[in-house]
Structure formats: structure tokens, C-alpha cells
Structure 1
Amino acid sequence: MLNERPLYVALGDSLTVGVGSTLFQPNFVKLFHHDLEVYYQTPIERRVFAKNGATTAAILQSLSRPEVMEAVQNANFITLTGGGNDFLKAGKVWLKTGDFSVVLQATQQSLSHFDQMINQIITIHSNRPIPLMIRVLNLYNPLFYIPETNRWLENYNQRLLSLERYPAVQVADIYHAFSGHESQLLSFDHIHPNPIGYRVMAQATAALGFELTPFQTSTTFN
């Protein structure tokens, strides 16, 4: 059952902000929001809490803000993007120094932060246990021309699937949706998606379906 006033909350980084799209073209959040409204045939409120350049640590920290907690508590639908900035920072260090340990550290920290995010979202939402759907988007590779980076992200994205052990959580496979088509889907900065790329992201996320999971406060989330 939908909330009386259904709410979609989008959390994340520049991909949730929509950096790389154009003024008159919808970004991922607007496209996915439209898909939700078409599926449920009802108006759905949208709230966005995202910042360009945000790391997974920053997104996790944002969940402690009162306005974010209030939105998460009342949401039926949540999408979550993150991790790209963690890897871009680590990748720059690796390219300069050859030190692979920074990439391993970024992987571990990002996965840990995502796990904490989901735990925190579920804890906050338990104060108002309405049906819930959480979609986490995995990472495409803007550095696809560097072979090593594909191996890193394939490993990372595979491990990110462990989040699906939580009720209501599914991971959208953006990596394979972009793989081999990066030149057509990335914007002029070669990092963020262009409008077509954002549409591909929304399609890959929508492909998981829109069904809500009944929320049970007695469920053990670990």
C-alpha cells in the first residue's frame, strides 16, 4: 500500500544532482520520478538531498540531518547514488604514485559506508513502518580506457550486491548498461552522464520493477 502522500527521496552525489544533463533535458531523478508516477498512476512528491562531489562518507553523514531523517522516515521510494567520487580520488592517486592500496581502501570504505547508509535508512524508517523500496545504483566506469579500472569496478559492483540481503533493497546495474557505450553516454566532461546516459540509468533502475516491500519492524536487518 502506498502512503497517503507518497514520497520519493533521492539521496546521493552529482548523479542524483544531475550534473552533465542540460537545462531542458531531464536527469535521472526526474526520469525515475516520472516512471514511478506512471506506474502508480498517482502524483508522488519528490525530495532530493544530494551534492556534487559528495563521497559516500558525506552521504552517510547527511542522513543525520533532521530534514533528511524526516524525509526518509516518510518515504515509500528511495534511490541512492554514491561511490564515484571515492574511486575518482583514489584513481588519481594511483595514476600519480602507482600505489594500489588507495584503491583497495576506497573500495572497503565505500562498501562499509553503503552498508551503514542502508542500516541507518531502515532504522529511521522503522519509526513509521510503511512499505518501502530502496534502489542503489552501482558504478559505471568513466575511466573505461584504463583496463585495470574495469577490474576494480567489476569487483566493487559484485560486492555491492550484498546490500540485497536487506529487505526492499535492489542494486541497479548501471555498469553493464554503460559498458561499451561510454562515448555515447558521457557528457563533455567525460565523467558525468549526458541526457541519454541519465535516461539509460533510469531505464536500468526501472527494469528492477517498482514493487514496494511491506515493512516489518520485527525484521532483523543484518
Structure 2
Amino acid sequence: MVYAYTAIGDSLTTGFGALPGNGFVPIYRRMAEGRLDSPVMPANLGVNGLTTGGLKQRLSTSKVYRAAVTDAQIITMSIGGNDLIKAARAAGPRPGAFQGLLSQALKDCKRNYSDIMGMLAQLKAGTRTPYIIRLVGLYNPYPQVDEATEWVRQFNRYAAGYSSIHVGFASIYHEFAGNERGLLFLDHIHPNGRGYRVIAGKLDALGYRGLR
């Protein structure tokens, strides 16, 4: 059997910050092929800078996205980091605005995430083909900022709550915390090749139960 793998999400899905072929999507695909002992055909629909709102819109209106999700047996999603980054940048040097902007961004992010998960479930409803959905958790791109740390922790707790027979959550927060120098690209925001290998390994460790 040939497994169709659709990757949706932001610049982590595109593999920004790593050499071609060294993002988590191609690494995870190779791992999945080894574990499943079958070819895995990828469709990478990642978009740099994509937010939860942007992904929700694409899943609502794009025939390409909707068909790719419907037809896939393996789906990965990395989303949410840009919601935090945009709120932090909007606050700029105004510390008084930081907490309010982050709080509103988290509320909007959770609502969008809920809508996204609902759309994924709807697109997969009635399918007779086994499938798995793997959610990539967030690390903290601003480890020196306490409010950002709490934002990421709350987001991860929320996203992990969608775990089910089909859905698995890959927690990467603790792997990156304190190891940013070794796992992040020069921009200190995106993973480097080592960081993407960590993400792929966490996805692979969730297993493939239900696909065979």
C-alpha cells in the first residue's frame, strides 16, 4: 500500500531554517516509510508566516487543501507559533500592552484551532480509509519572556486535549527549553536541522497504530 501524507501548517512545515530535505516533513516521511514498510507520498502545503486564522481560511475555501486532507492517511499540522509572534511584535517596546495582546491572541488562537480541528474531523468523516492526525506542539521562541512561556504552555495544554484514537500530540516544549542554542536556526525563531530531527522523532514516537 502507498500512504498519502499531507502536511499543513506554517514555516515549521515548510522546513524554514534547514537545508532542503532536512525539515521535519521529509524526515518524518522517511521514518514513516521505515516503520510502515511501505512508500509514503508527501504533499507539503506549509506556508511561511501562516497563522491559525490563515489555515482556517485555507481549509474552508481551498479545494487543494480540502482534497489533500480528505485523501490523506497521514496528516501533520504545525500551527500557532505565528499567532504568538505577531502579538509579541505588535506590542513592541510597550510592556503595558504585552499582556493584553498576548491574552487576546491566545483566545483567538484557541477558537481558530477548535474550528480547524472541527474541519479536519468533518473532512475525514465517513472515510473508510484508516488515518492518523499528528499535531506538532510549540516551543517558546521567547524563552526570556515569562508571559510567552505561559502562553506556549497554555496553548500546548489546549492542543493536547484533542488527542484521540486518530489524533496524537507531539510535545516538543521540553526538548527545546534550555537547548535553544543547539536546536534553533540563526534567527533564534525557527529550528535548525537538528531541531527538525527532534520534531520528526517525537512525531514518529507517537506510532502508527490504526494505519495497519
Select which of 7, 15, 40 maps to 1:18: 15
Select which of 72, 75, 79 maps to 1:82: 79
Do the aligned partners of 1:8 and 1:75 also contact (CA within 8 Å) in 2? yes
Give 1:173 deviation, angstroms: 0.4
Alpha-carbon distance between aligned partners in 2 of 1:127 and 1:5, rounded to the nearest angstrom: 20
Alpha-carbon distance between aligned partners in 1 of 2:38 and 2:165, rounded to the nearest angstrom: 25
Task: Give 1:1-222 correspondences, 5 Å limit.
Answer: 4-23=1-20, 26-64=22-60, 65-97=62-94, 98-99=96-97, 100-164=99-163, 166-212=164-210
Cα deviation 1:129-172 (Å, max 9, x = unaligned): 311101111110111122332122112211222212x5411111
- Counterpart of 1:220 in structure 2 is none
* 1:63 alignment partner, SS class: helix
**TM-score between both structures, scaled by the size of structure 2:** 0.92
Do the aligned partners of 1:177 and 1:204 also contact (CA within 8 Å) in 2? no
Cα deviation 1:84-111 (Å, max 9, x = unaligned): 1100011123343222121111111112
Do the aligned partners of 2:74 and 2:131 also contact (CA within 8 Å) in 1? yes
Give 1:213 deviation, angstroms: 6.5
Alpha-carbon distance between aligned partners in 2 of 1:19 and 1:197, rounded to the nearest angstrom: 11
The amino acid of 1:138's aligned partner reads: G
Alpha-carbon distance between aligned partners in 1 of 2:93 and 2:210, rounded to the nearest angstrom: 45
The amino acid of 2:45's aligned partner reads: F
The amino acid of 2:114's aligned partner reads: D
Report the number of matched residues. 209
- Counterpart of 1:217 in structure 2 is none
The amino acid of 2:32's aligned partner reads: L
Alpha-carbon distance between aligned partners in 2 of 1:127 and 1:67, rounded to the nearest angstrom: 19
**TM-score between both structures, scaled by the size of structure 1:** 0.88
Runs (5+) with no aligned partner, structure 2: none
* 1:47 alignment partner, SS class: strand
Runs (5+) with no aligned partner, structure 1: 215-222
